[in-house]
Chain A
């Protein structure tokens, strides 16, 4: 078990190193010059020599490998460097201000989604082809098919503009959380409910379920004790995927509701060619995904005793 974890971690370090190099190379191959973005639509005027001086000030005139080593060296010491665009602000601060916003948002959405999706999925699986199952299927299909963007805007129009119950953007009060969490949860709910339903149906046909029923257990006990626990396995896998979103943020929802999360920071930084920020977020994400994958694998063993980690 210990050896397994250690080897997985070592593999992870290699993956993270490769990702950091790849990100650096991709960012530098992206054509464009962050200094030119300072000029608005021409109100700011700069000559070539002046732009060159600014590039030198920002360290962009150094050879690429030197820039990489400088950045990677600082990163190993826990220093993410400074943003080009928000000069004077350490990248670390930018990331750790944005992460909690996306993290809380996604954890809340995950909790809400699971709280609704698991019972619905189980019930739909047990009462297969019933009216409830059909309604759940329609709901789940709609939830998965409707784009976040549209769902969010409709929510704002109905609840902020027409009913005036909720604010149209921001997280200044608890009401502000309602719409973004609902929009994010709706999408995940659909996926979880579908997966849970399918897994429930499959486990209900297993021998041990028939045995449990034959023992004379009540249907309720059979489903909850014997079927559901096994049916949870695929759901855990899907949740594992979602963990990455906790930290990568959800760019669409963050943009529509004007939330200063990591997803918006990431995408904005790509467009602004804020190299240090993009590189640091990618590396941080790589670390988190490696750890989340490891955690998911370990969790399998817990949920399904047949899986042994060696």
Chain B
């Protein structure tokens, strides 16, 4: 591990949080007008950080012209707000559209299409005052009707919307005038601002006329760029929108090329064919490019790299066994040898990137194979004839199904197989496509896997879909009545201090139960070519891809 990485890890360990940031994240209502910069947490290193421009400010006036070129790893299948899940989609959709509120590179909620907003003390009403004079790409003016339509359409899963869960508890929306939106809630949803008010707004008359399926191929938003050409598997080309309410973007065009092969994406940056990779390059390539003068943002991911375990299997149902498995794994060695040091050891479900809700002093399991053996012995698991432990005729053996072609995480599974073997636990390895794994795990049709998933994000500590006993993504099949109760309490509590207590307790339970083997929180490394300027000086972003919605403030040095 190099000194730089160590240094960066130390920086990452410090998670500053201003009172303002804290207020924003916890959905306490107040008018969000002036926003000061918060304390820096991670500074970009190397490269061209000499041109400071806060990403959240209005677009800079110094137009550089030219084309800002990004490279992504997989096709852009659609451009509607509902398609914004994958990073490569997000990077384009967020530049075509704006939302009432947006999460900036320092995880603050900033008003964009909203001038200000208020939350009723009981959390059952949100009032947004909208900016005036904002134009859509087709020239139509943005009004409250567009917000009402967008929220009503995307809150319904029967419309095929992937965003339905964000609008949990939403009731009637009133539009007393063109620039006021009142959202009434049927029940409190403490995450409404971060989840729902950040939904990209569509031109409602156009969307209603053409429908979602056409809209996603030809979107019309208020964003700084408008769509010129979209060839899903090859590129998406956007053009500067001169009438954007924050001023025209600094570049003339924004283009994302799709290049599946990671080493070719790296070469594209090196040859100057591309200015940034929206999907991270290989860690070793990112670190090498940083040494060559590229600007690299290293931010801690909200998702945890983990082995989900089927906790209903007889050999994995005892928490003492699961704790012992965690003790048997040398997680620092995995990070150093297989991840170039660009990660932090995880201690529960919620990433330290969520500075307010993350609990640091939870029960921890240091690497100690002897202690692991002793704990397994004590729990009644003794070595059988083939060296694998047994108890009452059940072998301590399970199969980990890795994602087909996952060259990054497969080696981790292989190393862990050795670690577990040393304490008499057998982990077999298989491969399957990711679609199969995600479906089989919650049904208990697979024993284990390894991937990254979000159990409460940097913005919202809610983990109802992953830790609730009836969660659609309860991959480890955790069935803990107290966790269920706490998740419900947390979602309906708007007092941040009280709310935090619930999520602290959840993290303690997860650290005690070890429903999945949490390995590490990855650093998300986003590389920008030295000729790109206007990048923020600091970013604590949820992931480095949170930089990409701000294509309008980035410029390209010509010549």
A residues lining the B interface (CB < 8 Å): 30-34, 36-51, 53-54, 56-58, 82, 85-89, 97-98, 153, 156-157, 160-161, 164, 167-170, 255-258, 260, 264-265, 268, 271-273
Contacts and interface: CB of A to CB of B under 8 A. Distances in A.
Given A42-B466, A54-B160, A86-B78, A33 B260 contact: no
A281 B213 CA distance: 22
Contacts of A87: 78, 160, 212-213, 216
Contacts of B268: 168-169
Given A32-B433, A50-B165, A160 B267 contact: yes
Given A33-B435, A86-B78, A88-B213, A258 B85 contact: no
Contact of B271 (A46, A161, A258): A161
Contact of B440 (A31, A40, A156): A31
Contacts of B260: 255, 258, 264
Contacts of A48: 470, 472
B262 to A, nearest CB: 11
B426 to A, nearest CB: 24
Contacts of A264: 233, 260
Nearest to A271: B433
A170 B464 CA distance: 43
A32 B443 CA distance: 11
B439 A31 contact: yes
B261 to A, nearest CB: 5
Contact of B234 (A33, A156, A260): A260
A54 B162 contact: yes
Interface string B516-531: 0000000000000000
B452 interface: yes
B85 A39 contact: yes
A228 B470 CA distance: 72
Contacts of B165: 45-47, 50
B294 to A, nearest CB: 15
A268 B405 CA distance: 13
B451 A41 contact: yes
B263 interface: yes
Nearest to B459: A43
Given A36-B438, A41-B451, A42-B454, A50 B157 contact: yes
Contacts of B61: none
B82 to A, nearest CB: 9
A34 B435 contact: yes
Given A41-B451, A46-B472, 11 more contacts: A31-B439, A39-B85, A43-B454, A45-B473, A48-B470, A87-B216, A153-B261, A156-B264, A258-B261, A260-B233, A260-B258
A36 B158 contact: no
Contacts of A56: 158
A271 B233 contact: no
A169 B157 contact: no
Nearest to B211: A88
B435 A41 contact: no
A144 B259 CA distance: 26
A88 B214 contact: yes
A37 B78 contact: no
B257 A170 contact: yes
A58 B160 contact: yes
Contacts of A57: 157-160
Query: Which one of B77, B270, B440, B464 has the highest number of Cβ atoms from chain A below 10 Å of its Cβ?
Result: B77
Contacts of B404: 271
A256 B267 CA distance: 12
Contacts of B471: 47
B264 A169 contact: yes
B217 interface: yes
B492 interface: no
A46 B258 contact: no
B132 interface: no
Contacts of B263: 153
Report, nearest first, the 4 A-B pairs whose CB atoms are least far apart. A32-B435, A42-B454, A88-B213, A53-B157
A156 B470 CA distance: 50
B271 A164 contact: yes
B453 interface: yes
A170 B267 CA distance: 13
7 contacts: A42-B453, A43-B454, A49-B157, A51-B157, A53-B158, A86-B232, A98-B233
Contact of A47 (B87, B457, B465): B465
Contacts of A97: 231
B434 interface: yes
Given A87-B160, A258-B260, A272 B435 contact: yes
A256 B464 CA distance: 40
A34 B2 CA distance: 41
B271 A256 contact: no
B164 interface: yes
Interface of B: 74-75, 77-78, 85-87, 156-166, 212-217, 231-234, 257-261, 263-264, 267-268, 270-271, 273, 303, 404, 432-440, 445, 451-455, 457, 464-466, 470-473
Given A38-B162, A48-B472, A264-B233, A88 B78 contact: yes
Contacts of B472: 46-48, 50-51
Contacts of A256: 261, 264
B436 A31 contact: yes
Nearest to B217: A88
B2 to A, nearest CB: 24
B357 to A, nearest CB: 16
A45 B471 CA distance: 10
B259 A169 contact: yes
Nearest to A48: B472
A161 B270 contact: yes
A27 B259 CA distance: 27
A87 B159 CA distance: 12
Given A42-B453, A160-B267, A37 B213 contact: no
B273 A38 contact: no
Contacts of B466: 42
Contacts of A98: 233
B303 A160 contact: no
Contacts of B215: 88
A102 to B, nearest CB: 12
Contacts of B233: 98, 260, 264-265, 268
Given A53-B157, A58-B160, A88-B217, A156 B435 contact: no
Contacts of B437: 32
Contact of B264 (A34, A164, A168): A168
A53 B159 CA distance: 8
Contacts of A273: 435
A268 B435 CA distance: 12
Given A42-B303, A46-B165, A168 B273 contact: yes
Nearest to B216: A88
A253 to B, nearest CB: 11
A254 to B, nearest CB: 9
A260 B231 contact: yes
A110 B61 CA distance: 53
A167 B435 contact: no
A31 to B, nearest CB: 4
B453 A41 contact: yes
Contact of B157 (A54, A85, A272): A54
B440 A46 contact: no
A97 B74 CA distance: 17
From A37, A56, A168, name the one whose CB has the most chain B CB atoms within 10 angstroms: A168
A14 B467 CA distance: 51
B439 A36 contact: yes
Nearest to A38: B162
Contacts of B234: 170, 258, 260
Contacts of A33: 435, 438-439
